[in-house]
Amino acid sequence: MADLTQHEWTSKLSVDENAVILDVRTPEEVAQGIIPNAIAIDIYKGQGFIDDIGKLDKTKNYYVYCKSGGRSGQACGVMNQLGFKSAYNLIGGFTDWQGEIASI
């Protein structure tokens, strides 16, 4: 797992052909906007989160974010324990996001 600033996160993401953006916020938070092309899996689902994460392709590179960077850091740690190739945590999360935002 690596903690990346928004500049580092977006720069790496822009050239990564094996990238998946993962939003681990609650459905209520996601309803306020989401980074385009992100998939949302609520980390607060507990075992449901582990189950859903386990269905993802472990060979992909995951760019993970939450509201401020705490939950996404935890999610990256879980993903590492589950054998994912790489997970990058967005420092500052959606709160500090300066890029494009999509609606759900």
Closest CA to 4 of 71, 63, 86, 44: 63
Residues 47-90 have pLDDT tens digits of: 999 999 999 999 999 999 999 999 999 999 999 999 999 999 99
pTM: 0.96
Does residue 9 carry a pLDDT above 90?
A: yes
Closest CA to 61 of 36, 42, 79: 79
Residue 1's pLDDT is what? 79
Domains of the chain and CATH, by start:
2-96 (3.40.250.10)
Greater model confidence, 78 or 1: 78
Mean pLDDT of 13-31: 97
Residue 104's pLDDT is what? 79
Residue 72's pLDDT is what? 98
Q: Which of 21, 38, 41, 66 is catalytic?
A: 66
Quote the mean pLDDT of the chain.
96
For the chain, how are helix, strand and coil distributed in percent, rounded to 5? 40, 20, 40
Residue 38's pLDDT is what? 98
Annotated catalytic, 66?
A: yes
End-to-end CA distance of the chain: 28
Residue 3's pLDDT is what? 96
